Amino acid sequence: MDSKKEIEPGMVFKNREGEEYEVVREYATNDGLPHFLIRFRNPESWQVVPKRSIGRLMLSNKAKKFVYGVGYVSSTEDNPVIIDELTGKIFERWKNIITRCYDKAWMERHPAYRGTTICEEWHDFSNFLAWAKPFATQICRGWDLDKDLMGEGLRIYSPETCVFLPMRINSALAKRRYWENKGKVSGSAKMMLLFEKEMEEKKTLIPATAYERLKSVVSEYRELYKAQTGKDLDEIDFSGVVAENKKRGRRVTDNKVPVMVRITKEAKEMLTDVKNKSEYIDELIKAAKD
């Protein structure tokens, strides 16, 4: 539809599936751009959309199970579906866990997730959104959604089993399953040291019950490490820790502790005229530390 065309309450349009939706009224949003509240009729779905989207075929009824025939979004006139920046990040997390549980092609590539489920309550994105919003800081930092620490082998995504954890801690928990099954722990000792260090640094952002579970994992590892090597875990030379998984954006600082560098749009513009970008980023990291 022409963005200059007037939109008025009561107008009715159809999407590509032939489903009708009605324009209810204008809706004020934080970004100041023109938005309207619309209502799909069957099943009923209240959604806030930009003016430019009204009349286009792409609009979909979010009350239908549109994510792998399972995920949907409930709504009311007083609590419509609004996808802002934070909600969009949370929506992607929700869509990803449904993918892990119901996308057969994805499970073929990741067989470890076979048999994993998501609780019925979280089939509705509105419920997942209400649970996840208090963890906005962790989500914006890119923390992983972990189901195993609190789930104790239940293999289910639910409010009772899930917690947001830093990527390094989540990776170390995955390694835990390896040393539990294989019985050898020395290979993951340095990772466990980083695990413990970051756990303490992020203590205020980790729920108390999850933090206590993490401490028990470290204690368990320390005992096994002592039994197998005859040494204390703290005797390891921490300076020998090197960065891993460079494809995921890890870099190494002067004391060899891996950190995550996120390149924003503004940062990319800053680096446009920089010839040696890698060296320049290293200098920025060092300056931040100093």
* Mean pLDDT over each residue of the chain, to the nearest integer: 81
Boundary (domain end) residue, out of 50, 66, 82 = 82
3-state SS, residue 25: strand
Is the CB of residue 75 less than 8 Å from the CB of residue 103? no
Is the CB of residue 205 less than 8 Å from the CB of residue 137? yes
Q: Are residues 91 and 122 in the same domain?
A: yes
Our count of domains for the chain comes to 4
| Cα(217)–Cα(196) distance, integer angstroms | 10
Residue 115 in any domain: the answer is yes
Cβ-based burial of 164 (10 A; exposed 0-12, middle 13-18, buried ≥19): buried
Q: Are residues 68 and 87 in the same domain?
A: no
Six-digit token string for 189:
């000792």
Share of the chain above pLDDT 70, in %: 75
Q: What is the pLDDT of residue 270?
A: 56
| Cα(18)–Cα(148) distance, integer angstroms | 42
Residue 161 in any domain: the answer is no
What sign for the dihedral angle of Cα 104, 107, 113, 118? negative
- Under the banding of pLDDT at 50, 70 and 90, the label for residue 238 is low
Q: Are residues 281 and 263 in the same domain?
A: yes
Of 38, 36, 42, 50, nearest to 17 (Cα)?
Answer: 42
pLDDT tens profile 183-223: 566 667 777 888 888 999 999 999 999 999 999 988 988 88
CB burial readout 238-262, b (16+ within 10 A) else e: eeebeeeeeeeebebeeeebbeeee
Boundary (domain end) residue, out of 241, 261, 280 = 241
Q: Can you list the positions of beta strands (E) in 20-172? A: 20-27, 35-41, 44-50, 117-118, 144-146, 156-157, 163-165
- Under the banding of pLDDT at 50, 70 and 90, the label for residue 280 is low
Cα dist. 28→16, 34, 98 in Å? 27, 7, 31
Boundary (domain end) residue, out of 241, 264, 281 = 241
3-state SS, residue 254: coil
What sign for the dihedral angle of Cα 209, 163, 128, 123? negative
Q: Are residues 21 and 63 in the same domain?
A: yes
The pLDDT of 33-54, averaged and rounded, is 93
pTM of the model as a whole = 0.74
The pLDDT of 123-142, averaged and rounded, is 95
Six-digit token string for 218:
């470290």
Residue 274 in any domain: the answer is yes
Amino acid at site 163: V
The pLDDT of 232-260, averaged and rounded, is 51
Residue 5 in any domain: the answer is no
Residue 23 in any domain: the answer is yes
Q: Are residues 44 and 91 in the same domain?
A: no
The pLDDT of 58-79, averaged and rounded, is 94
The pLDDT of 54-74, averaged and rounded, is 92
Give the H or E element holding residue 252.
strand 250-252
The pLDDT of 245-256, averaged and rounded, is 41
Domain range for 186 = 166-241
